[in-house]
A and B are shown apart, each in its own frame.
Chain A
Amino acid sequence: MSQEHVPSTPVTLEGVRRTGGQRRYWKSLDELADAPAFLEFLHREFPEQASMFQDPKGRREFMTLMGASLALAGLTACTKQPEETILPYVRQPEQLVPGRPLFFATATGHDGYARGILVESHEGRPTKIEGNPEHPASLGGTDVFGQAHVLGLYDPDRSKAVLYLGQQRTWGDFKAALREPLAKQQAKGGTGLRFLTGRNTSPTLAAQMRSLIAAFPGAKWTSWEPATRDNSRAGAVLAFGEPVEAQYRFERADVILSLEADFVAGHPASLRLVREFAARRKPAGETPEMSRVYVVEGSPTSSGASSDHRLALKSSEIEGFARAVAAELGVVVQGGVAHAWAAPVAKDLKRAGARALVMVGESQPPAVHAIGHAINEALGAVGSTVSYTAPAETAAGGEAQSLAALVAEMRQGVVEMLVILGSNPVYAAPVDLDIASALDKVPFRIHHGLGNDETAARSHWHLPASHPLESWGDLRAADGTVSIVQPLIAPLYHTLSELEVLAAFTEGEQKGHEILRAHWQDALGAADFEKRWNRALHDGVVAGTAFEAKALRVKPGAWASAGATPPPGSGLEIAFRTDPAVFDGRFANLGWLQELPKPLSKITWDNVALVSPKTAAELGGVKTEQTASGHVTELAELTLDGRSVVAPLWVLPGHADGAVTVHLGYGRTRAGRVGSGVGFNAYALRTSDAAWGRGGLQVRKTGGTTLIACTQDHWTMDATPHHQAEERHIVRSVTLAELAKDKHAIQKLGHEPAPGLSMYPPHEYKGHAWGMTIDMSACVGCNACVTACQSENNIPVVGKDQVGRGREMQWIRVDRYYEGTPENPETYHQPVVCMHCENAPCEVVCPVAATVHSDEGLNDMVYNRCVGTKYCSNNCPYKVRRFNFLLYQDWTTPTFKMLRNPEVTVRSRGVMEKCTYCVQRISRARIDAKNLGREIRDGEVVTACEAACPAQAIVFGDVNDPESRVSKLKAGDRNYGLLAELQTKPRTSYLGAVRNPNPEIPGAGSEGQQHG
């Protein structure tokens, strides 16, 4: 069953192609090697014995419990409905109609920057997050963090009370305790008073801080985030003399070069960038057109996976490449490192001119950012695809330095009172600062945050923070647009917001609402204030607050000459990256995110040390064994500057050689019941001078192993059922050139079944017939649909052990396929939902008619009929059905009861479930339309996944209506059905992926043309 992930001979392109030069798509190295463990997964619905109870100690107890519960289950049929009560309002709020949700516009701060959201509220309970179409940083899309925002509100491990040295106190106690030290600071002008917050874009908080510092002139305010943007700010200072924010416009760009910029997930405007990116990746019509994207990166990201050309270079080697490209474009720089791609990439950028752009990632040193600005200027892109504005944050750049300065002051004993608001430096600060010991030198330490976290444990006072869904505030998006953050619910516990806590230092007791209104009354002016305020609350944006573009010229400077960055040290290079699921660790206690398979590695509940196949070979091979309870992989000790951590090794195709990527956000000790003790803490290696990585890493295998729950081989569809020649073309991709030559190129890859071959009479659909298309060309694999579905449909979290056994419950899975060699494969994302087959294989095998066909073509799942035979799941060729092997749903935690969508049944043990096409949303639209005496209009039924998708890759609608968007897409040339040759007549269909390679890129010419 084990599989050495090191091919004895290099895998050649021919080796991974099928006979006849057809492309072969693979999901894991096991699949590429046809390893027995993979075949086992392929041919079984669940891994062997996964459906059995494998805990020997608990077997007897389990049988007892099962016997008892079976008896009880039998008896429930003979019990009456429990008596229930109805509690109406005393005074019903205006506009509220019981049973109908209301939507309110507000914003979430991601890394400090606003993302506009609409929150669905059922009788005052926020239950679901949607994007705000009117917000410039959302445009209606959301990401996984936005979706999980509501789970954060109901997190049962949130801080609920004021603590002094771990003992429960009241807010009154805290204010009393604050009085004397504060008076002392007042007397000495606040020289010993320090504030530490996260990155701040709130105008009101900034104003509050200004008046605080006016009252305490010696006080200082430090803002700092673990996901620092110091490099891009410093790069802007090098180029322009001021820390401006570059605003990119992807929809205008024909050619994009990303130098380690993860525009899909790693930028404050990611949602807008993905929307604009995807808009140019959907070629259609007679003369298909799309943008071309080059990504140069060390650690594989979704951005690289969505590009046309991905160059895997170590992070430190990218500067040389950037300089070479710049030199080709006539920018006066030195130190270019010759690369075969530099000339063709530069030529392509030059050809696009003002319709090209270069984007540089945070992990690149400031000089590369300056070079990026210089290239954009040379291309004429400024004013077209790039513009420059003031930064949204109050203190732009230099975050790491100001934190280091604060820690130095703490050590010197200058700091007498430290107030930490919404930040967790004890966990996430650079390890060389040793902030924990410095904190001990501060005589009065206050921590205000959502959780009783690592920093709270080191503070005298811990103050529980109100969740943003419970408090008033404001935030700026990266383009400057202000959103008012408004509460959806009164605080669940005795908590205060940041604004309210800060008010205690000056004005005394004040409500967040008063503070905020007072600020905006000043800012907006008294004239028409109420109207403008209400409009801002309603729209979710304050009109006219976006920053003006600045006219800037790149100044020549030292950045142009080489040698600015020190050469990497000996050993391997380490790259620190924020995690695609738990970000910098702040989301560690959110089960939805922990259980999210990461976009590329498909690992859940863990972080690992990612290496390339070649680096794995150099380390003596990485043995990863697939077992019935998960992947067993080898542990290694990573040592950097004498500090070390033990991490599981994992081979990731496409990773740069000679480098190791570790994701931050794991190894937390005080995250809560979900996130504590999960993974290893990569911050333990992260120093001030290596925020995003550096050389000199030593890796030594410890000889130990660990279990990883990775879903990459779960639910694999059989691509070669009988023999290798009969390929089923689950993933279809062509190049733009091929599509231009033959617009049916994608459809010709498979063979559509002849109509009328079925032995069953066809269904008749007289009214609506619901269907969906998923555009694989636009999908960036961001997982927002998965979390949106989990939130909308009350899908439980099952835990690492159960995921390892292949029992994850998410109704949507995003299959990640590779094509090509493991060294640098092309990557494709394929979200798979229920196909709602017209000839559904599941329906005919259910002995109790628990899964049946609706008159609109939905494949209905009737939970109350299901007896759990799992025959349907055995017979589903798409493997989209999920079974509640155990009681996964949390029925007891009170706050989770508030989280649930009241429109969807909460399932119990022993029941099969799967994607319903959000039938509750269809019902709502149908009843609303019928009550108005009209038909449902196209676009009125929006499934949760479709609504969340920032790329607009998912379109849902009525296929009986020839004018609907979905019908038009299905009639298009890129449309194909998954395994349609099985005669299932899937209602969900896919639009084939199109890539736009540059034939001048070495290796691309032959690769790009060899499609099957």
Chain B
Amino acid sequence: MAQVFPRTANEFARASLVVGGVVAAAVLGSLLFVFPRSSYMTRQKEAIAQPVPFYHLHHVGGMGVDCRYCHTSVDKSAVAGIPPTKTCMNCHSQIFNQSPTLEPVRASWRNGTSIEWKKVHDLPDFVYFNHSAHVNKGVGCTTCHGPVDKMAYVWQEKSLLMEWCLECHRQPEKYLRPKGEVYSTAWQPPSNQLELGRKLAAEYNVKTQVTCSTCHR
């Protein structure tokens, strides 16, 4: 019986082994290196629906409310603070006080039960991030949280992976801004950012902090 495959088919077979290996390596590689970094895993850029349609777009972008009106402990504590219902009611007992969308807020105020907000920026439990250490040193809100004034429901702008943290912790001068601009949503890094950053780092006593116990304890 004649050969079904010609001799050259051996070359194809060999080549397919190599190609198969490369494909397998690529798949494995993407699983190990790409997949954990994908936005599917990190939930990056995924707007999270909340029990109350609270829009930063409206409050920050439209009305120009300062970050610290609600996130009162951002410069004092590890956590920025999610505002108590009282903060909402400061205005909404007067305006839109019949709006059906705000019923969960009024219910919370009436019953004394908390509104269950969905957590957007969720670090692993072995990571200890401190807001005050950053905002008091010239790291702006939008540097990590992105254009909050343009978000309806807030999404996580950055990956929050450790490599992302270290990028700034190794070279803080790339991201620092003057303290007066920390809460500004309009601030854009100038063309001489590195120069400015170095100057601010010296002025604010900003050091590269890459020791494990800076964040892990």
* A residues whose Cβ falls under 8 Å from a Cβ of B: 77-78, 80-81, 83-92, 97-100, 767, 852, 854-856, 858, 860, 862-864, 903-906, 916, 919-920, 922-923, 927, 930-931, 933
Verify A90–B133 contact, CB threshold 8 A: no
A51 to B95, CA, bound (A): 66
Verify B126–A80 contact, CB threshold 8 A: no
Interface membership of chain B positions 114-148, coded 1 if the CB is closer than 8 angstroms to chain A and 0 otherwise: 11111100101110101011001100000000000
Verify B216–A931 contact, CB threshold 8 A: no
> What B residues does A90 contact at CB under 8 A?
84-86, 108-109, 112-114
Best-surrounded residue of A99, A904, A905 (most CB of chain B within 10 A): A99
Closest chain A residue, CB of each to CB of B207? A767
Verify A860–B126 contact, CB threshold 8 A: no
Q: What distance in Å separates the Cβ of B214 from its nearest Cβ neighbour in chain A?
A: 8
Verify A86–B82 contact, CB threshold 8 A: yes
Q: Contacting B114 at CB < 8 Å: which of A87, A99, A920?
A: A87
Question: Tally of A-B residue pairs with Cβ under 8 A?
Answer: 126
Q: Report if A864-B216 is in contact (Cβ < 8 Å); known contacts: A88-B84, A97-B77.
A: yes
Q: Report if A97-B76 is in contact (Cβ < 8 Å); known contacts: A85-B117, A92-B84, A856-B211.
A: yes
A903 to B126, CA, bound (A): 9
Verify B128–A923 contact, CB threshold 8 A: yes
Verify B76–A100 contact, CB threshold 8 A: yes
Q: What distance in Å separates the Cβ of B127 from its nearest Cβ neighbour in chain A?
A: 8
Verify B116–A99 contact, CB threshold 8 A: no
Q: What distance in Å separates the Cβ of A56 from its nearest Cβ neighbour in chain B?
A: 36
**Does B159 lie at the interface of the complex (its beta carbon under 8 Å from any beta carbon of A)?**
no
> What A residues does B29 contact at CB under 8 A?
none
Majority-rule SS of A interface residues:
loop
**Does B24 lie at the interface of the complex (its beta carbon under 8 Å from any beta carbon of A)?**
no
> What A residues does B133 contact at CB under 8 A?
927, 930-931
Closest chain B residue, CB of each to CB of A767? B207
Verify A83–B36 contact, CB threshold 8 A: no
A630 to B109, CA, bound (A): 58
Verify B126–A864 contact, CB threshold 8 A: yes
A80 to B43, CA, bound (A): 8
Closest chain B residue, CB of each to CB of A96? B73
> What B residues does A904 contact at CB under 8 A?
217
Verify A86–B119 contact, CB threshold 8 A: yes
A852 to B41, CA, bound (A): 29
Q: Contacting A854 at CB < 8 Å: which of B41, B122, B137, B213?
A: B213
A852 to B214, CA, bound (A): 12
A87 to B136, CA, bound (A): 26
Verify A860–B212 contact, CB threshold 8 A: yes
A416 to B126, CA, bound (A): 59
> What A residues does B113 contact at CB under 8 A?
90
* B residues whose Cβ falls under 8 Å from a Cβ of A: 35-36, 41, 43, 72-73, 75-79, 81-86, 108-109, 112-119, 122, 124-126, 128, 130, 132-133, 136-137, 205, 207, 211-214, 216-217
> What B residues does A920 contact at CB under 8 A?
128, 217
> What B residues does A91 contact at CB under 8 A?
84-86
> What A residues does B136 contact at CB under 8 A?
930-931
Best-surrounded residue of B35, B132, B137, B217 (most CB of chain A within 10 A): B217
Majority-rule SS of B interface residues:
loop
A78 to B112, CA, bound (A): 39
A637 to B199, CA, bound (A): 79
Verify A916–B35 contact, CB threshold 8 A: no
A25 to B179, CA, bound (A): 60
Verify A860–B213 contact, CB threshold 8 A: yes
> What A residues does B108 contact at CB under 8 A?
90
> What B residues does A903 contact at CB under 8 A?
128, 217
Verify B86–A852 contact, CB threshold 8 A: no
Q: What distance in Å separates the Cβ of B129 from its nearest Cβ neighbour in chain A?
A: 10
Verify A919–B217 contact, CB threshold 8 A: yes
Verify B79–A81 contact, CB threshold 8 A: no
Q: What distance in Å separates the Cβ of A906 from its nearest Cβ neighbour in chain B?
A: 7
> What A residues does B117 contact at CB under 8 A?
85-88
Closest chain A residue, CB of each to CB of B86? A91
Q: What distance in Å separates the Cβ of A998 from its nearest Cβ neighbour in chain B?
A: 49
Q: Report if A864-B124 is in contact (Cβ < 8 Å); known contacts: A80-B41, A931-B75.
A: yes
> What B residues does A933 contact at CB under 8 A?
205
A913 to B36, CA, bound (A): 27
Query: What are 22 A-B pairs with beta-carbon distances under 8 A?
Result: A84-B122, A85-B118, A87-B116, A88-B81, A90-B85, A91-B85, A97-B73, A98-B77, A100-B76, A856-B211, A862-B212, A864-B126, A905-B125, A916-B213, A919-B213, A920-B128, A920-B217, A923-B128, A927-B130, A927-B133, A930-B137, A931-B132
Closest chain B residue, CB of each to CB of A793? B217
A86 to B121, CA, bound (A): 11
Known: A81-B122, A864-B124. 20 other contacts (CB 8 A): A80-B41, A81-B43, A85-B119, A86-B119, A88-B82, A88-B114, A89-B86, A90-B86, A91-B85, A98-B82, A99-B73, A99-B79, A863-B216, A905-B125, A905-B217, A916-B217, A920-B128, A920-B217, A923-B128, A927-B130
Verify A89–B114 contact, CB threshold 8 A: yes
> What A residues does B124 contact at CB under 8 A?
81, 864
Q: What distance in Å separates the Cβ of A148 from its nearest Cβ neighbour in chain B?
A: 23
> What A residues does B41 contact at CB under 8 A?
78, 80
Q: Contacting A99 at CB < 8 Å: which of B78, B119, B205?
A: B78
Q: What distance in Å separates the Cβ of A929 from its nearest Cβ neighbour in chain B?
A: 10
Closest chain A residue, CB of each to CB of B114? A87
> What B residues does A856 contact at CB under 8 A?
211
Q: What distance in Å separates the Cβ of A131 from its nearest Cβ neighbour in chain B?
A: 24
Closest chain B residue, CB of each to CB of A766? B207
Q: What distance in Å separates the Cβ of A846 from its nearest Cβ neighbour in chain B?
A: 12
A607 to B73, CA, bound (A): 50
Q: What distance in Å separates the Cβ of A61 from its nearest Cβ neighbour in chain B?
A: 29
Closest chain A residue, CB of each to CB of B75? A931
Verify A88–B126 contact, CB threshold 8 A: no
